[in-house]
Amino acid sequence: TSRFHVVTKVYELAQPFSFFLTKVAGIADKYNSTLALDIKDILSADMGNLVASCQFNYMFDIPWLVQQYPKEFRSKPLLIVHGEQGPSKTTLEAEAIDYSNVRFCQAKLEMLFGTHHTKMMLLQYDTGMRVVIHTSNLIKQDWHQKTQGIWISPLFPKMAKPSATEGDSTTHFKRNLLEYLSAYKAYQLKDWINNISEHDMSTARVVIIGSVPGRHTGDQMKSWGHMKLKRVLQQHGPSNGVVKNWPVIGQFSSIGSMGANKEAWLCGEWLQSLSAATGGTTLSSVPLLKLVFPTKDNVRCSLEGFPAGGSIPYSINVAKKQMFLHDFFHQWRSEGQGRSRAMPHIKTYLRPSPDNQKTAWFLVTSANLSKAAWGALEKKGTQLMIRSYEIGVLFLPKFFGGKDLFDVSSNFEMLKSSTDVFPLPFDLPLTDYIKGKDRPWMWDIPYMDLPDTNGNIWCPG
Ligand SMILES: O=C(O)c1c[nH]c2c(-c3ccccc3)cccc2c1=O
């Protein structure tokens, strides 16, 4: 088993955050080194001798997924947690007809327009287990030429005496993971819930930020979505005095309907939660908000060309109702990580310093900029309505050596040589949209004036 410790040692040495991007085909090798992983790296025997696994996701290609496991692991029990209903559920289950080791768990979606976005792997080894929280669908194209994020847990050893309350970390990782899984109320998850309670997760240093569908009231209201993030930032975040003039950055690959103006939700409840801090937030100063969303030309000139936009589903019918939103937008640019042309499917949120050298926190999550994912307050703020399943991990300096702030950089050379600079997926400062030229990418309108990387035009519908 020394091999596994060596491997995890290498990963942990690479950086204490255990936050990686996916490998990108077609960029210089140096950008795909220790800080980047492929799905085969995550599932490799170097990470542990797999006994069983559970894959939470939105899109699946079952035959492709099975092929990503080392051949000696391809017949181990594999539970697929999805949100498909009716005919598409039947189609998904038919894909696994040849794999007797594959089982399914359908996440209940009783809220209209809800989706099972959560992307998580539970990996059980003979020596313990790992949790992986990431942003990629389980289809080949999501791991080929996009910018995606991955957090890999340390190896959590089995405890002598199983306990749902013992073996937790200062960030309540184990309790939050069990709460999240219990919210499915699915009998197929019972064994995994018991399994998790038997493991010591005290080495987990991230905070889980999850969303589960429902109208959450009372204490539950602060257990999910943007209200969970708000509570954690109020308890363990930066002091208000330090960050009050710092911007909040949101970066995502899809956008829901925000309502008629920025006060309705975006700069109202959502920004109030993301700008939360210890020592209370002075309501007077509404914090700066900056958003990162690819332009039409970012997509056109990307490695995949216009087809990258097939995974950036911003509809013109939603966009035209919220032109105010586009004033916050900045381009996707990742020169430091060699990923300016690897379109983002990652979703990240952070609170960087005005000089772009620090951040007060960093969140990588499945949650796009939508009320469905983050929740919307109802009944005079007494309940939080969430439509979808989401999960992400929050990095707080307090839990990484008791610092106040993280040093940050997206510069590969810098990241390669230092161990405690937080690796940003995109460049700071952000790059503005070019006035009068740049438009947000929208996936359901034609673009026929200029060819993409492959010489093609885009004619949806
Ligand atoms: O969870 C994820 O990652 C994703 C979720 N929905 C996607 C869609 C879509 C858009 C409207 C209705 C249904 C599906 C399209 C293309 C990529 C995604 C996607 O990547």
Q: What is the pLDDT of residue 446?
A: 98
Whether residue 188 is predicted with pLDDT greater than 90 in this model: the reply is: yes
Summarize pLDDT for 271-312 with one digit per residue, the tens: 999 999 998 776 667 899 999 999 999 999 999 999 999 999
Whether residue 112 is predicted with pLDDT greater than 80 in this model: the reply is: yes
Inter-residue contact 387 to 211 (CB < 8 Å): no
Lowest mean pLDDT among 3-17, 164-178, 310-324, 373-387: 3-17
Considering only residues 7 and 65, tell me which one the structure prediction assigns the higher pLDDT: 65
Q: Complex ipTM above 0.85?
A: yes
Which positions are annotated as active-site residues? 117, 345
Q: What is the pLDDT of residue 166?
A: 94
Ligand 1 near 135 CB (within 6 A): no
- Average pLDDT on 104-108 reads 98
Residue nearest to atom 12 of ligand 1 (CA): 313
Ligand 1 near 311 CB (within 6 A): yes
Q: What is the pLDDT of residue 282?
A: 67
φ/ψ of residue 145, rounded to 5 = -140, 40
For residue 423, cis peptide bond before it (omega within 30 degrees of 0) = no
Residue 447: how many CB atoms within 10 A of its CB? 21
Whether residue 5 is predicted with pLDDT greater than 80 in this model: the reply is: no
Separation of CA 311 and ligand 1 centre (Å): 6
Ligand 1 near 82 CB (within 6 A): no
Residue type, 372: A
Residue nearest to atom 16 of ligand 1 (CA): 311
Q: What is the pLDDT of residue 378?
A: 98
Separation of CA 229 and ligand 1 centre (Å): 24
Share of the chain above pLDDT 90, in %: 92
Lowest mean pLDDT among 45-54, 413-422, 440-449: 413-422
Considering only residues 284 and 224, tell me which one the structure prediction assigns the higher pLDDT: 224
Instruction: Indicate the angle between helix axes 190-197 and 173-182, nearest 10 degrees.
Output: 170
Query: What mean pLDDT is reported for the chain?
Result: 95
Q: What is the pLDDT of residue 176?
A: 98
- Average pLDDT on 231-252 reads 97
Band of residue 12 on the pLDDT scale cut at 50, 70, 90: low
Separation of CA 238 and ligand 1 centre (Å): 34
Q: What is the pLDDT of residue 161?
A: 87
Atom number, ligand 1, closest to the C-alpha of residue 137: 3
Atom number, ligand 1, closest to the C-alpha of residue 310: 16
Band of residue 134 on the pLDDT scale cut at 50, 70, 90: very high
Residue 71: how many CB atoms within 10 A of its CB? 8
Please, is 90 exposed, middle or buried when counting C-beta atoms within 10 Å of its C-beta (0-12, 13-18, 19+)?
exposed
Residues 352, 248: Cα–Cα separation, whole Å: 7
Residue nearest to atom 11 of ligand 1 (CA): 313
Nearest partner of 426 among 324, 303, 292, 321, judged by Cα = 292
Q: What is the pLDDT of residue 162?
A: 84
Separation of CA 254 and ligand 1 centre (Å): 8
Atom number, ligand 1, closest to the C-alpha of residue 57: 1
Distance of CA 34 to the CA centre of its chain: 20
Residues 191, 442: Cα–Cα separation, whole Å: 42
List the structure tokens of 227. 């209200």
Separation of CA 368 and ligand 1 centre (Å): 10
Atom number, ligand 1, closest to the C-alpha of residue 135: 3
Atom number, ligand 1, closest to the C-alpha of residue 136: 3
Ligand 1 near 58 CB (within 6 A): yes
Share of the chain above pLDDT 70, in %: 96
Residues 242, 275: Cα–Cα separation, whole Å: 12
Q: What is the pLDDT of residue 59?
A: 98
Separation of CA 388 and ligand 1 centre (Å): 12
Band of residue 113 on the pLDDT scale cut at 50, 70, 90: very high
Ligand 1 near 313 CB (within 6 A): yes
Residue type, 65: L
Please, is 419 exposed, middle or buried when counting C-beta atoms within 10 Å of its C-beta (0-12, 13-18, 19+)?
exposed
Q: What is the pLDDT of residue 13?
A: 46
Band of residue 33 on the pLDDT scale cut at 50, 70, 90: confident
pTM recorded for the entire structure:
0.97
User: Which of 58, 88, 138, 253 best tests ligand 1's pocket when mutated (most atoms within 8 Å of CB)?
Assistant: 58
User: Which of 120, 135, 311, 370 best tests ligand 1's pocket when mutated (most atoms within 8 Å of CB)?
Assistant: 311
- Average pLDDT on 92-103 reads 98
Residue nearest to atom 1 of ligand 1 (CA): 117
Separation of CA 226 and ligand 1 centre (Å): 21
Residue 403: helix, strand or coil by DSSP? coil
Q: Which helix (H) or strand (E) holds 67?
A: helix 62-68
Q: What is the pLDDT of residue 1?
A: 41
Residue nearest to atom 13 of ligand 1 (CA): 313
- Average pLDDT on 376-393 reads 98
How are the residues of the chain apportioned to helix, strand and coil, as percentages rounded to the nearest 5?
30, 25, 45
> Which residues pair with residue 21 across a beta bridge?
36, 149
Residue nearest to atom 20 of ligand 1 (CA): 311
Separation of CA 242 and ligand 1 centre (Å): 37
Ligand 1 near 11 CB (within 6 A): no
Ligand 1 near 117 CB (within 6 A): yes
Length of the chain: 461
User: Which of 59, 134, 257 best tests ligand 1's pocket when mutated (most atoms within 8 Å of CB)?
Assistant: 59
